[in-house]
A and B are shown apart, each in its own frame.
Chain A
């Protein structure tokens, strides 16, 4: 390794750990670099996970997040996208054990970020499908829009997330049951709406490359009483799919 590269390697290591052998790190002003890097990472995580920050409070959030930053610094200069593994970190973070829903709330915060910044692609309207005959319709593959995300939790994490995004406490009459959500992009930003397992199954089947015939047949087997046609047209109206 040449001198320039070695300097950068040591400087980068000294930002997150003690490096007595690296002379610049022993200068008192080196703290400015350490503080700036850490603060930018923490600010990004706090901005990207507002529901988590609301649930645990700012101080707890930032001290937990600092542990995550030191082991998983950003891999991408788009700090608005930082935190791809933060939910997993929280799931395994022992001090968060008393908040079993926290990692799922973080996952929903993360899906919101992914939805917000996903690439622009036209959405698929129901009229395009209506133009197809029944045979062609069954053979069609629907592609979820790059901004569309779906979410399933074994707990009422969507309700907890919604209240926390508003900075409010969760209602005392919260019903403790699994919840699903769709995360969709609108012209004004991101819309998170309640969903059911059928919508999630349809989107997952489409994302896996199933034809519409295959996806609806599988859904009809799992949910024999459901109006799959109405669910599908609801998804189309929401802009959940992209044009082919």
Chain B
């Protein structure tokens, strides 16, 4: 019997031995399912990890915020992996990454129009039907203003939750990065966020691109979580209550212990929040 999820770590294959050994209470791991769709040693490694710890699947390429439906083969492979590892959470992004048969490896923005909402609702419903379970959608990072929105992002997400029954993944670093880049107030965004639907929180590092005036923040996942993001995380926990929290790192991946230290810091804050509740 596994206890409740506390803080987790984005899994990297080079950390498998440490991950299998680690016994922190409430520890869990998250993977990008796309890396485990085939056969061979990688999926076998995921089986071993899932045997030992709760595992979450965090997709990066389903392209749900698109005028086109999600790729049926991709959904079938995702369903197979869901059946194989029995993940505790399955999540994706409020973004698109495929168009005209090409995969564009990024999480791209779109005008949040009524028309877009109808497409996203349909795509989320279709995906949930194939997967046989609810998805959680993550708020994206923004780098530039897009014209033509009918909806604020938080209202758009709330409506999406209402119409599809999906959950939300609140990425605190994305909130911080987007608020900086679009010159909006991060705390006001959190105050408007449909927090009751949040199933998971993400924390990651960002980079500063000095090439642009004011210094653009880039959601680079290649450094430790920044102090202002920890601060915003504490604020989010005060609003939302304790929620499974993941440390993400995709570039300049350090030794497992360094990520585990960030994970323990999040676990401590979660514990304090649980005590306060």
Q: Which residues of A contact B (CB under 8 A)?
A: 2-5, 7-9, 11-12, 15, 23-24, 27-33, 36-37, 40-41, 44, 73-81, 116-121, 146-147, 185, 187-189
Contacts of A120 in B (CB 8 A): 39-40, 43
Contact check, A147 vs B106: say whether CB atoms are below 8 A apart. Answer: no
Instruction: Tell me, in angstroms, the Cα distance from A177 to B60 when the chains sit together.
Output: 45
Contact check, B105 vs A33: say whether CB atoms are below 8 A apart. Answer: no
Contacts of A75 in B (CB 8 A): 101-103
The reply to whether the CB of B96 lies closer than 8 angstroms to some CB of chain A is: yes
Contact check, B116 vs A189: say whether CB atoms are below 8 A apart. Answer: no
Partner pick for A77 among B61, B99, B144, B146, CB 8 A cutoff: B61
Partner pick for B212 among A28, A81, A119, A121, CB 8 A cutoff: A28
Fill in one digit per residue for B96-123: 1 if any A CB lies within 8 Å of its CB, else 0.
Answer: 1111111111101111010110010000
Contacts of B146 in A (CB 8 A): 24
Q: Which residues of B contact A (CB under 8 A)?
A: 34-35, 37-44, 60-62, 66-68, 71, 74, 96-106, 108-111, 113, 115-116, 119, 143-148, 181, 209, 211-212, 216, 218
Contacts of B44 in A (CB 8 A): 187
Contacts of A73 in B (CB 8 A): 102-104
Contact check, A3 vs B74: say whether CB atoms are below 8 A apart. Answer: no
Instruction: Tell me, in angstroms, the Cα distance from A32 to B211 when the chains sit together.
Output: 11
Least CB distance, B183 to chain A, in whole angstroms: 12
Contacts of A4 in B (CB 8 A): 67, 110-111, 113, 115-116, 119
Contact check, B101 vs A29: say whether CB atoms are below 8 A apart. Answer: no
Contact check, B218 vs A32: say whether CB atoms are below 8 A apart. Answer: yes
Contact check, B99 vs A33: say whether CB atoms are below 8 A apart. Answer: no
Instruction: Tell me, in angstroms, the Cα distance from A127 to B154 when the chains sit together.
Output: 63
Partner pick for B96 among A3, A8, A118, CB 8 A cutoff: A8
Contacts of A146 in B (CB 8 A): 39
Instruction: Tell me, in angstroms, the Cα distance from A79 to B146 when the chains sit together.
Output: 28
Least CB distance, B156 to chain A, in whole angstroms: 13
- Looking at chain A's contact residues, the main secondary structure is helix
Partner pick for B102 among A2, A12, A44, A185, CB 8 A cutoff: A12
A-B contact count (CB 8 A): 122
Contact check, B41 vs A36: say whether CB atoms are below 8 A apart. Answer: no
Contacts of B42 in A (CB 8 A): 117
Contact check, B212 vs A74: say whether CB atoms are below 8 A apart. Answer: no
- Besides A73-B104, A116-B40, A119-B39, 10 more A-B contacts (Cβ < 8 Å) are A4-B119, A5-B68, A8-B108, A12-B102, A28-B212, A32-B216, A36-B106, A74-B102, A188-B41, A189-B41
Contact check, B67 vs A12: say whether CB atoms are below 8 A apart. Answer: no
Contacts of A147 in B (CB 8 A): 39-40
List 20 interface pairs A-B (beta carbons < 8 Å), by A numbering.
A2-B115, A3-B115, A4-B119, A5-B68, A8-B67, A8-B110, A12-B100, A12-B104, A24-B109, A28-B211, A30-B144, A33-B143, A37-B106, A77-B71, A77-B74, A78-B35, A118-B40, A120-B43, A147-B40, A187-B41
Contact check, B144 vs A74: say whether CB atoms are below 8 A apart. Answer: no
Instruction: Tell me, in angstroms, the Cα distance from A80 to B40 when the chains sit together.
Output: 13
Instruction: Tell me, in angstroms, the Cα distance from A15 to B100 when the chains sit together.
Output: 13
Contact check, A24 vs B144: say whether CB atoms are below 8 A apart. Answer: yes
Contact check, A32 vs B35: say whether CB atoms are below 8 A apart. Answer: no
Contacts of A185 in B (CB 8 A): 40
Contacts of A78 in B (CB 8 A): 34-35, 37-38
Contacts of B181 in A (CB 8 A): 29
Also in contact, A37 and B104, with CB within 8 A (given A2-B115, A7-B110, A78-B37): yes
Instruction: Tell me, in angstroms, the Cα distance from A32 to B177 when the chains sit together.
Output: 13
Instruction: Tell me, in angstroms, the Cα distance from A2 to B35 when the chains sit together.
Output: 33
Contacts of A37 in B (CB 8 A): 104-106
Instruction: Tell me, in angstroms, the Cα distance from A117 to B77 when the chains sit together.
Output: 13
Contacts of A23 in B (CB 8 A): 147
Chain B residue at minimal CB-CB distance from A81: B38
Partner pick for B67 among A5, A77, A118, A188, CB 8 A cutoff: A5
Contacts of B102 in A (CB 8 A): 12, 73-75
Instruction: Tell me, in angstroms, the Cα distance from A28 to B145 when the chains sit together.
Output: 11
Least CB distance, B216 to chain A, in whole angstroms: 6
Contacts of B119 in A (CB 8 A): 4
